[in-house]
C-alpha cells in the first residue's frame, strides 16, 4: 500500500495549510479529471474538485490508514460526483417537465433534441466527447468502473476498494460497460451506415 501521504494527512488534521497545499498539488488533476469525466463540464468539475478538497480538509482527522490516501481521495471524488449527478438529474427532470409546456399558455411545446450528427467524420477530440457522452448514459456503477479503469487507468484492485465491491465484480462491470458503449457508439459508425 502507498503510505507516502500518511504524514501529510496527519499534518492537515492538525491544521497545517502548507501540507494541504502539497496534497492539493499532488491530487488536483486526478480529482479534476475524474470529475470532468462524469460531468463533461469544466464549471461543474471545478465545483466538485473544490468540494472534494474541502471534505479532505474537514475529515483528515478521521482518515484510517487501512487504505492509501489516493484510494481515499478517489472514493470521496466518486461519491461527490455521483451525488452531483443525482442532483443534476433531479433538476433536469423538473426542468424538462417545465420545458414541455409554454409558460404563458400552458400548451405543450416540442424541443428539438441535441445530438451529434452521425454523418460527420469524427475527429479525435470529438471521438472523446462522443465516448464521454455515451459513458454518461451508463448505469452509475458501470460508469464509475469504466472511468476509473479507462480514464484514470487504476488497477482493478484499487477500483474494487474505491467502489467497495470484489475484483470480479469490477471486471464484470467493465465488460458490461464496454458492451453497452459499443451499442451506443454503433449508430455513429460511418462504415456500418454505408453497409446498411
Partner 1 sequence: MENHEWEDEIIEGIRGQKRAEPNPFLFTRIEAKLGEVNSGIVWNLKMKVAVSLCAFTLLLNSVLIIQMVSNPVSESLVTESTYQVDSYQFEIY
Report the interface residues with partner 1, using CB under 8 A. Answer: 17, 20-21, 24, 28-30, 32-33, 36, 42, 45-46, 49-50, 53-54, 57-58, 122, 124, 127-128, 130-131, 150-151, 153, 178, 181-182, 185-186, 189-192
Q: Residue 17: name the closest of 76, 50, 60 by CA.
A: 60
Shortest spacing between CB 186 and partner 1, in angstroms: 6
Shortest spacing between CB 98 and partner 1, in angstroms: 31
Shortest spacing between CB 139 and partner 1, in angstroms: 17
Nearer to partner 1, 117 or 164 (CB): 117
Nearer to partner 1, 33 or 141 (CB): 33
- Write out the three cell numbers for 148: 476509473
Nearer to partner 1, 54 or 100 (CB): 54
Nearer to partner 1, 65 or 83 (CB): 83
Shortest spacing between CB 97 and partner 1, in angstroms: 33
For residue 189, the Cα-to-chain-centroid distance in whole angstroms is: 25
Q: Which DSSP state fits 101? A: B
Residue partners of 132: CB distance under 8 A and separation at least 6: 37, 40
**Cβ distance 73 to 30 under 8 Å?**
yes
- Write out the three cell numbers for 176: 458490461
Shortest spacing between CB 112 and partner 1, in angstroms: 26
Q: Which DSSP state fits 123? A: P
SS3 103: coil
Give the DSSP H or E segment for 76. helix 69-99
Nearer to partner 1, 93 or 192 (CB): 192
Amino acid at each position: 500500500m502507498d503510505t507516502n501521504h500518511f504524514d501529510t494527512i496527519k499534518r492537515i488534521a492538525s491544521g497545517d495549510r502548507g501540507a494541504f497545499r502539497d496534497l492539493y498539488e499532488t491530487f488536483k488533476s486526478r480529482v479534476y479529471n475524474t470529475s470532468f469525466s462524469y460531468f463533461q463540464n469544466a464549471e461543474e468539475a471545478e465545483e466538485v474538485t473544490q468540494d472534494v478538497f474541502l471534505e479532505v480538509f474537514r475529515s483528515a482527522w478521521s482518515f484510517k490508514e487501512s487504505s492509501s490516501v489516493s484510494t481515499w481521495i478517489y472514493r470521496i471524488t466518486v461519491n461527490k460526483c455521483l451525488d452531483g449527478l443525482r442532483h443534476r438529474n433531479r433538476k433536469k427532470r423538473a426542468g424538462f417537465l417545465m420545458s414541455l409546456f409554454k409558460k404563458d399558455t400552458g400548451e405543450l411545446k416540442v424541443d428539438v433534441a441535441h445530438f451529434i450528427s452521425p454523418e460527420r467524420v469524427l475527429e479525435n477530440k470529438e471521438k472523446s466527447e462522443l465516448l464521454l457522452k455515451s459513458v454518461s448514459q451508463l448505469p452509475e456503477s458501470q460508469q464509475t468502473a469504466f472511468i476509473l479503469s479507462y480514464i484514470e487507468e487504476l488497477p482493478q484492485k484499487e477500483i474494487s476498494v474505491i467502489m467497495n465491491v470484489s475484483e470480479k465484480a469490477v471486471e464484470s462491470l467493465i465488460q458490461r460497460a464496454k458492451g453497452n458503449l459499443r451499442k451506443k457508439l454503433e449508430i455513429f459508425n460511418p462504415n456500418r451506415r454505408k453497409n446498411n
